[in-house]
Structure 1
Amino acid sequence: MNFSIKKRISSPLAKIVLAFTALFLMISSSSARTFVFTAIPDQDETQLQKRFGKVAAYLEKELAVEVKYIPVKSYTSAVSAFRNDQVQLAWFGGLSGVQARRLVPNSMAIAQGVEDQFFKSYIIAHHTTKLDRNNGLTKEMAGMSFTFGSKGSTSGRLMPEFYLREHFKESPNEVFKSVGFSGDHSRTIALVQSGAYQLGAVNFKVWERELAAGKIDSSKVSIIWETPNYPDYQWTIRGDVDAKWGEGFSQKVQNALLNIKDPEILNSFPRKGFVPASNHDYQPILDTAKSIGIID
Structure 2
Amino acid sequence: MNLKKALLGLALFSCSSLALAKTFVFTAIPDQDERALNERFGKVAHYLQEQLGVDVRYIPVKSYPAAVSAFRNNQVQLAWFGGLTGVQARQLVPGSQALAQGKEDTAFTSYIIANTSTGLMPSKDFPDAIKGLSFTFGSKGSTSGRLMPEYYIRDHFHQAPEQVFSRVGFSGDHSRTIALVQSGAYQVGAVNYSVWEEEKAKGQVDTSKVRVLWTTPSYPDYQWTARGDLDKQFGAGFTAKVKKALLGMTDPKLLAAFPRSGFVPAANSDYAPVEAVAKAIGIMDDGK
Gap change, CA 1:27 and 1:186, over 3 Å in 2: same
Secondary structure at 2:259 match in 1: coil
Alignment partner, residue 91 of structure 1: 80
Percent identity between matched residues is: 63
Partner of 2:282: 293
Q: State the secondary structure of the residue aligned to 1:269.
A: coil
Q: Which residue of 2 aligns with 1:21?
A: 10
Q: Give a deviation string over 1:175-233, Cα, whole Å, max 9, x none.
A: 00000000000000000000000000000000000000000000000000110000000
Aligned residue runs from structure 1 range 200-279, under 5 A: 200-279=189-268
What is the Cα deviation at residue 243 of structure 1? 1.0
The reply on whether 1:193 has 2:174 as its aligned counterpart is no
Equivalent residue number for residue 159 of structure 1: 148
Distance 1:116 1:80 in 2: 23
Asked if the contact 2:124–2:215 (Cα under 8 Å) also holds between the matched residues in 1, the reply is no
Letter in 1 for 2:211: S
Contact 1:144 1:198 (8 Å CA) reproduced: yes
TM-score in terms of structure 2 length: 0.97
Larger radius of gyration: 1
Mapping of residues 70-149 of structure 1, within 5 Å: 70-134=59-123, 136-149=125-138
Gaps of 5+ in 1: 1-11
Opposite residue 190 of structure 2, the aligned amino acid is A
DSSP-derived class of the 2:159 partner = coil
- Structure 2 gap segments, 5+ residues each: none
- Runs (4 or more) in structure 1 with deviation over 6 Å come to none
Q: Tell me: CA distance 1:136–1:191, structure 2 relative to 1, closer, same or farther (3 Å).
A: farther
Q: Once the 2 structures are TM-superposed, how far is the Cα of residue 27 of structure 1 from its aligned partner?
A: 1.2
Kept after mapping to 1: 8 A contact 2:146/2:190: yes
Find out whether 1:175 has 2:164 as its counterpart.
yes
CA RMSD of aligned residues (A): 1.1
